[in-house]
Amino acid sequence: MTDLNNVIEELRESLIDILSRWVSIPSLKADPAPGAPYGLEVKRALEAALADAQKLGFDVRNIDGHAGDVRMGPLDKDPLGILVHLDVVPAGDGWQVDPFGAVLEGDRIYGRGTSDDKGPAVAALLAMYAVKQAGIPLSREVRLILGCDEETGMDDMKYYAAQGLMPRTGFSPDASFPVINTEKGMLQIQLRTPAASDGLPVKSIDVGQRTNVIPGMATALIHGDGLLCAKVNRLAGDMHLQVEAEMAGDSLVRLTSTGISGHAAYPESARNAIGQLLLMLRALGVAGVLKTLADCVGMEYDGSGLGVKCTDALSGPLTCNLGILRYDKDGCFATLDIRYPVLAYHERIVHSLRAALGEDIQVTVAAHKDPHHVPPNSPLVTALLDAYHEETGRDRECISTGGGTYARCLGEGVAFGSAFPEDEELAHQAGEYASIDGLMTNIRIFANAIMKLAGA
Ligand SMILES: [Zn+2]
């Protein structure tokens, strides 16, 4: 153990060096090219990572540009998978520093991908290296899998699994500690209907790009005059809604609803601007599908108005997000993103939706993912919690998420790290950074976990 800890203490400079170089590659998904199914920058990131791993003495493979792996121990003997990803989401606005500059400031290294998920990837790589350098014998293979398409559909892991390569068991440091052993099921629902012909004359609504995003802003154009504007502004005050009205040309009023954007899996910390807009439209006398959506969804995110509210002790409550709403004279299109508890049945949820929304609204399941759960007393979870507790002194605890990680690509997989419970949420945000001390602790935790799960 002393040897291992000494080896890890020496790795701080390597950590900063490797992570800086990986972060400087803007590995956003782009058009495919030969050997680069997710674009040339993602290919460059994968090749750089594999070259670094090879320099550290590991056996590496590039799986046709979809993913790579880094292996040690008795190869192909019931591998322990550690699943990370090298692709990143776009930098977006609001950065104080170059998002691909890997700027070092005190204990922090700033840049897109530093925490999601290149920092954890480097920590896992160096944990394997430390175990190897300390000469710890292994009874099974340890395999770091470097994914290239986590952010946009996980086609990388489908490809990797289709080659017959996916390990049976393992963990993914792409969320937070302690252990996330439950991921809710996910339903993406599309709603379609002809436009309403009576009630308030709504001209158009066009809100939202992605089903899994809670929109922070929503606008509608409705036919009306200055009196309508005044009415909206009065109602907004009475109903405590952040909706404003202004004239937008001859006899057209624009309603602007301001909420707080967020991720569909975590609605508690957001405020859906579409829901707020619908409540205002209903107060103004809207009919048809928009009234139904106001009645059945509105600003609720627990599914109660849709008859699908449920919860279980493993997973926590169902969540529901109205992410897209388009409406004009030709009809209405909307999407719901539902994250449901492990013990709920998705067929029953869809059945309840149809019953609540009525015959006029066509309900289609656009995507579905089953829930994922690993028992908290399994050897995998027990070993990971022990490693976490031993290295940090913190409580052993399993948690549930509405999000989805690579963990669900493994028969027995959990998310493990790399953020600590008190850390601020940085993934996909402007100003994303990783703490070097935090990553050093990650290395100690992962090395300990590797010894417990794969040590001879
Ligand atoms: Zn990630």
The distance in angstroms from the start CA to the end CA of the chain is 14
Contact 293, 192 (CB under 8 A): no
Catalytic residue flag (residue 150) = yes
User: Using 50, 70 and 90 to split pLDDT, how confident is the model at 212?
Assistant: confident
Which residues sit with Cβ closer than 5 angstroms to ligand 1, an ion?
Answer: 116-117, 174
Q: In the predicted model, is pLDDT for residue 195 greater than 80?
A: no
Q: Which pLDDT score, from 0 to 100, does residue 404 have? A: 86
Do strands 372-373 and 179-183 pair parallel, antiparallel, or not at all (unpaired)? antiparallel
Q: How far apart are alpha carbons 228 and 46 in whole angstroms?
A: 57
Residue 161's identity, in one-letter code, is A
- From the CA of 265, how far away is ligand 1's center (Å)? 14
**Structure confidence by residue, pLDDT tens digits, 2-47:** 689 999 999 999 999 999 999 999 999 999 999 999 999 999 999 9
Q: Which pLDDT score, from 0 to 100, does residue 201 have? A: 85
Give SS3 for 70.
strand
- From the CA of 306, how far away is ligand 1's center (Å)? 31
Which residue in the list 150, 174, 183, 432 is annotated as catalytic?
150
Among the listed ranges 42-56, 373-387, 426-440, which one has the minimum average pLDDT value?
426-440
Stretch 340-361: mean pLDDT: 96
- From the CA of 151, how far away is ligand 1's center (Å)? 7
Residue 115's identity, in one-letter code, is S
Among the listed ranges 116-125, 177-186, 293-302, 422-431, which one has the minimum average pLDDT value?
422-431
**Structure confidence by residue, pLDDT tens digits, 280-298:** 999 999 989 999 999 999 9
Q: Which pLDDT score, from 0 to 100, does residue 249 have? A: 86
Q: How far apart are alpha carbons 129 and 13 in whole angstroms?
A: 14
E-only strand ranges, 300-437: 311-312, 316-317, 319-328, 331-340, 362-369, 372-373, 398-401, 412-416, 418-419, 433-435
Q: Nearest-5° angle of CA 178, CA 181, CA 184?
A: 125
- From the CA of 166, how far away is ligand 1's center (Å)? 19
- From the CA of 150, how far away is ligand 1's center (Å)? 7
User: Using 50, 70 and 90 to split pLDDT, how confident is the model at 426?
Assistant: confident
- Which domains occur in the chain, in start order? 2-182+373-454 (3.40.630.10), 186-369 (3.30.70.360)
The backbone torsions φ and ψ at residue 338, rounded to the nearest 5 degrees and listed phi first, read -115, 125
User: Using 50, 70 and 90 to split pLDDT, how confident is the model at 185?
Assistant: very high
Q: Which pLDDT score, from 0 to 100, does residue 1 have? A: 55
Contact 338, 265 (CB under 8 A): no
Among the listed ranges 204-213, 292-301, 338-347, 409-418, which one has the minimum average pLDDT value?
204-213
Instruction: Give buried/exposed letters for 390-401 (b at 16+ CB in 10 A, else e).
Output: ebeeeeeebebb
**Structure confidence by residue, pLDDT tens digits, 49-60:** 999 999 999 999
Q: Which pLDDT score, from 0 to 100, does residue 261 have? A: 87
Peptide bond into 201 cis (omega under 30): no
Stretch 99-104: mean pLDDT: 96
Q: How far apart are alpha carbons 193 and 329 in whole angstroms?
A: 11
- From the CA of 435, how far away is ligand 1's center (Å)? 16
Which residue in the list 87, 141, 337, 432 is annotated as catalytic?
87
Q: How far apart are alpha carbons 96 and 93 in whole angstroms?
A: 9
Do strands 179-183 and 398-401 pair parallel, antiparallel, or not at all (unpaired)? parallel
- Confidence (pTM): 0.86
Q: How far apart are alpha carbons 324 and 215 in whole angstroms?
A: 8
- From the CA of 428, how far away is ligand 1's center (Å)? 9
Q: Which pLDDT score, from 0 to 100, does residue 20 have? A: 98
User: Using 50, 70 and 90 to split pLDDT, how confident is the model at 373?
Assistant: very high
User: Using 50, 70 and 90 to split pLDDT, how confident is the model at 94?
Assistant: confident
Q: In the predicted model, is pLDDT for residue 413 greater than 90?
A: yes
User: Using 50, 70 and 90 to split pLDDT, how confident is the model at 196?
Assistant: low
Catalytic residue flag (residue 295) = no
Q: Which pLDDT score, from 0 to 100, does residue 194 have? A: 84
Among the listed ranges 66-70, 258-262, 405-409, 428-432, which one has the minimum average pLDDT value?
428-432
Q: Which pLDDT score, from 0 to 100, does residue 85 have? A: 98
Stretch 116-124: mean pLDDT: 97
